[in-house]
A and B are shown apart, each in its own frame.
Chain A
Amino acid sequence: MPETKQKKPIIQLVDVYKEYRAGTISTLALKRVNFQIHREQVIAIMGPSGSGKTTLLNMIGLLDRPTKGKIFFDGLDVLRLDDKTLANLRNTKLGFVFQTFNLVNRLSVFENVELPLIPRGIPRGVRAKMVLDAIIKVGGDESWLSKKPNQLSGGQQQRVAIARAIVGKPVVLLADEPTGNLDRASAKVVVKTFLNLNKAGHTVVVVTHDPEVANCMDKIYVIRDGEIIDEYSSNKAESLINKV
């Protein structure tokens, strides 16, 4: 990766702690996390269940605020931003992909994918073109647009969810266990889609507990008990894509 891109992180977490309280019981989900993501990186965050992967992703995705510490997004101190500004940042700079796709079943594929464009006030004609572009980017075609999500396979639904995440041309694409509900063939297609999007300039952060998926990315961060305990370059030979 060029040196210039490494200099300015798009997302930076400084001594971040996250504590959840339920009555008198408190759980420390993140402990002193220091973490940076640079533009056009494609990274994996790995760890067992309950290790704090999703909590970390929520912090990166501006969905949650830390109990302690600082988060900077493109140089902005996130803790100083109000809910409206955060929503606007999520809408314009971030794209989310979830394990269970989280598509709205009553809406067509077209209506699902155009959802992030509505708050921006983009005219419907322009939206139609952007939606089609996004569907094509994830390997879909025009015939998908009028279908309801439940008329598609799991892999196709996840690609629709990715299209929804990238339709607004976000800087960072965040995926939480995106292959968790897919068979290996579909998972491979989805991972390839992420890699292609990274080549197209998107920064990609994938949370997974699947080493084969993690090895598809450039760098792997390992999280356990709320702490990032290791970071290393992936072993492409052990990746989902290279394994038959």
Chain B
Amino acid sequence: MLADFLRLSLKALSERRARAVLTIVGIAIGPLILVMMSSVVGSYSEYIVERITSLGQNAIAIFPTENYRLDAEDLNYIRTFDAVKRAEPFYNTQGIVKRGTEETKVSIFAVDYNLLFEAIGSLEIGEGAIPPETDTLSSIIGRKIAFKDDTRHFSLHDVLTVTVPKIEGGKITGKKTVNVVVSAILEEYGGALIVDPDSTIFMSLEAGRRLLGLDKWSGVLVLADNPANVKPTVSALRQYYEEKVQIIAFSSIAEAISSVTSAITFINFSTSLSAFAVAVAGVAATMITSVMERTREIGVMKAIGYTNFQILLMILLESIMMSLVGATAGISTGVVGAYILSSRGFRIGGIGESGITLQLNPLITPTLIIQTLALTILIGLAGGVLPAYRASKIPPVVALRYE
């Protein structure tokens, strides 16, 4: 019987094709926006959170403020925490590497290699090997320093000439050049958004001190024994140091970014709901008109034995079918739109020399499709239920008299 009702409803829709098509277009806008925006925002959100998370969920970075100097006493204090697995100082500065005729800005990070690779678990050596900590002339360089657009500029054992600030008495007094040997080249990391290993030269802590002339630690990198212990450790350190240092836990950044992306997703969802609300009104208007035009027909149906429920079902099926077609059209164009939108890429500035441009495939999941489909069908139901109910309740004699 349901198949017959579907057939009858489809015929009713096809009779008023232009109106049905316009209503379907109205319905399709909601799922289009929802799928397109959610999948694009979702893919970037997931990527960004994943990259932040990859920095290590048990890593904490402590940076001194301008008027405070971290020293061995601080290091010893930090190491007294039961939850602290390791704590090592690091030096961080900027430099310029000459690649042929071109100069490239790079970050220089002098840190204990083992701690570095433990903190950033997804950091991998592509070529060469990690040099010994005592080797102050060797370095590990990021992929974008060694290569540019797949063109190799530096190989293993090449000497890099890096221009760095000259520091005397704790102050920058000019520029100087240092030479470092390439001992290893990292696999492409892709940008962690806070740091950019692809554009960084990593060297040992001792190299940082000797080669770069840095005497003031840029900070202390702390590794907690467990991600669950990060928050209490950060709290304890903040309580101890108050305003003297800035403490950043990568897990907190991930959490914050996750909150921001959730908010964006919610705003996007709310925007889509406006389109859905318009669609409800569209469906309702179409169905009310349709019911009015077919009042006499409804009277005949009742006279020949259709129950109120069967009339309600037939009218509702019409709006549900419009929603289904609208959902299919909206989701399909949403998917296409998402790929077009993603293909433009998304530039994040402030990282590396010229920021990084993310170009990701939209995150189109079965859950997103099913949720959008369900929501769109709900729109059809919401828009159709009142006209269908009214149609089902028209007394047959009144309907038959209708002109």
B301 at the interface (CB under 8 A from A): yes
Determine chain B's interface SS by DSSP, over half rule: helix
Instruction: List chain A residues, Cβ under 8 A from B296.
Output: 102
From B8-16, B175-183, B380-388, give the one contacting chain A.
Answer: B8-16
Q: How far is the CA of A96 from the CA of B305 in the complex (A)?
A: 10
Chain A residues whose CB sits within 8 angstroms of the CB of B12 once the complex forms: 106
Contact of B307 among A83, A98, A111 (CB under 8 A): A83
Q: Is B297 an interface residue (CB 8 A)?
A: yes
A152 contacts the other chain (Cβ, under 8 Å)? no
User: A115 an interface residue at 8 Å Cβ cutoff?
Assistant: yes
Binary B-proximity of A88-124 (CB < 8 A = 1, otherwise 0) = 1011100110100010101100010001101101001
Asked whether A96 and B306 contact (CB < 8 A) given A102-B296, A104-B297, A106-B14, the answer is no
Q: Which listed residue (B15, B307, B400) contacts A119, Cβ 8 A?
A: B307
Rounded to whole angstroms, the CA-CA distance of A96 and B304 in the bound complex is 7
* 0 or 1 for each of A46-81: is its CB under 8 Å from B? (1 = yes): 000000000000100101100000000000000000
Q: Which of B14, B15, B304 is within 8 Å of A115, CB to CB? A: B304
Q: Which residues of A contact B396 (CB under 8 A)?
A: 63-64
Which among B15, B297, B397 is the interface contact of A63 at CB below 8 angstroms? B397
Q: Are B303 and A63 in contact (CB under 8 A)?
A: yes
| A121 contacts across to B, CB distance below 8 A | 1
> Which chain A residue has the least Cβ–Cβ distance from B314?
A118
- A residues 11-65 touching B (CB-CB < 8 Å): 58, 61, 63-64
| A124 / chain B contacts, CB cutoff of 8 Å | 4
A168 CA / B305 CA spacing, docked (Å): 11
Least CB distance, B217 to chain A, in whole angstroms: 83
Closest B residue to A90 by CB, please name it.
B305
Contacts of B400 in A (CB 8 A): 63, 98, 102
Q: Among A91, A107, A111, point to the contact of B305 (Cβ < 8 A).
A: A91
| Contact partner, B308, options A83, A91, A92, Cβ 8 Å | A83
Tell me, yes or no, whether A7 is within 8 Å of chain B by CB: no
Asked if A159 is at the interface (CB within 8 A of a chain B CB), the reply is: no
When the two chains form their complex, are residues A91 and B397 in contact, meaning their CB atoms are under 8 A apart?
Answer: no
Chain B 305-338 interface residues, beta-carbon cutoff 8 Å to A = 305-310
Question: Which residue of chain B is the closest to A103 with respect to CB atoms?
Answer: B300
Contact (Cβ within 8 A) A119 B305: yes
Docked pose: A119 CA to B1 CA in angstroms: 7
Determine if A58 and B397 form an interchain contact, defined as CB atoms under 8 angstroms apart: yes
Interface residues of B in 263-309 (CB under 8 A from A): 296-297, 299-309
- Return the chain A residue nearest B14 by Cβ: A106
A98 close to B1 (CB less than 8 A):
no
Look across to chain B and name the residue whose beta carbon is closest to the beta carbon of A64. B397
In contact, A64 and B395 (Cβ under 8 angstroms): yes
Q: Inside 8 A of B297's CB, which chain A residues have their CB?
A: 102, 104
Known contacts A83-B307, A87-B307, A121-B1; A115 and B301 CB within 8 A of each other: yes
Interface membership of A84, Cβ < 8 A: yes
Contacts of A64 in B (CB 8 A): 395-397
Residues 148-192 of A, flagged 1 when their CB comes within 8 A of B and 0 if not, give 000000000000000011001000000000000000000000000
B residues less than 8 Å from A119 (CB atoms): 1, 305-307, 310
Is the pair A118, B1 in contact by a Cβ cutoff of 8 Å? yes
Check if B11 sits within 8 Å of A106, measured CB to CB: yes
Instruction: Give the distance in Å from the alpha carbon of A22 to the alpha carbon of B397 in the complex.
Output: 16
Binary interface encoding of chain A residues 193-224 relative to chain B, with 1 for a CB under 8 A from any of its CBs, else 0: 00000000000000000000000000000000
Q: In whole angstroms, what is the CA distance A79 to B35 when docked?
A: 54
Q: A58-B397, A64-B397 are in contact. Are A92 and B303 (CB under 8 A)?
A: no
Chain B residues in 8 Å Cβ range of A168 = 305
Q: How far is the CB of B74 from chain A (nearest CB, A)?
A: 83
**Chain B nearest CB, measured from A34 CB (Å):** 21
Residues in B neighbouring A107, C-beta threshold 8 A: 8, 11
- Cross-chain contact A90 with B310 (CB below 8 angstroms): no
In the complex, the chain B residue whose C-beta lies closest to that of A83 is B308
**Most chain A CB atoms below 10 A, which of B8, B299, B397:** B397
Residues of A within 8 A of B310 (CB): 119
| Docked pose: A115 CA to B310 CA in angstroms | 12
Closest to A124 in B: B4
Most chain B Cβ neighbours within 10 Å, of A87, A107, A119, A124: A87
What separation, in Å, do the CA atoms of A102 and B294 have in the docked complex?
A: 11
- Tell me the smallest distance from the CB of A108 to a CB of chain B, in Å: 10
* In the complex, residue of chain B having the shortest beta-carbon distance to the beta carbon of A96: B303
Complex Cα distance A221/B4, Å? 41
Q: Quick one: closest B residue to A89, CB to CB?
A: B305
Q: Are A87 and B397 in contact (CB under 8 A)?
A: no
- Give the residues from 1 to 41 in chain B that come closer than 8 angstroms, CB to CB, to chain A: 1, 4-5, 8, 11-12, 14-15
Can you list 15 A-B pairs with a CB-CB distance of less than 8 A? A63-B303, A63-B396, A63-B400, A87-B305, A87-B308, A88-B307, A91-B304, A95-B304, A96-B304, A102-B400, A106-B11, A115-B301, A118-B1, A124-B4, A168-B305
Chain A interface residues (CB < 8 Å from chain B): 58, 61, 63-64, 83-84, 87-88, 90-92, 95-96, 98, 102, 104, 106-107, 111, 115-116, 118-119, 121, 124, 164-165, 168
Beyond A58-B397, A61-B303, A119-B307: 5 further Cβ-contacts under 8 Å? A63-B303, A87-B307, A98-B400, A107-B8, A119-B1
